[in-house]
Structure 1
Amino acid sequence: MDEAIFFDVLRQGLWVAVVIATPILVVALATGLIIGLFQALTSIQEMTLTFVPKLAAIVAVFWISMGFMTETLVAFFETQLVPLIIGGS
Structure 2
Amino acid sequence: MDAPVIMDVLREGIWAAFLATLPILSVALITGLAIGLFQALTSVQEMTLTFVPKLGAILITYWIAMGWMTETFVSFWRDRLIPLIGGQ
TM-score (norm 1): 0.97
Alignment length, in residue pairs? 88
CA shift digits 1:39-69 (9 cap, x unpaired): 0111100000000000000000000000000
Structure 2 matches for 1:26-41, cutoff 5 A?
A: 26-41=26-41
Task: Return structure 1 stretches of 4+ with deviation > 4 angstroms.
Answer: none
Match of 2:67 in 1: 67
Match of 1:56 in 2: 56
Q: CA RMSD in A?
A: 0.5
Structure 1: gaps of 5 or more residues: none
* CA–CA distance in structure 1, aligned partners of residues 42 and 10 of structure 2: 47
C-alpha displacement at 1:2, in angstroms?
1.3
Match of 2:44 in 1: 44
Q: Alignment identity in percent?
A: 62
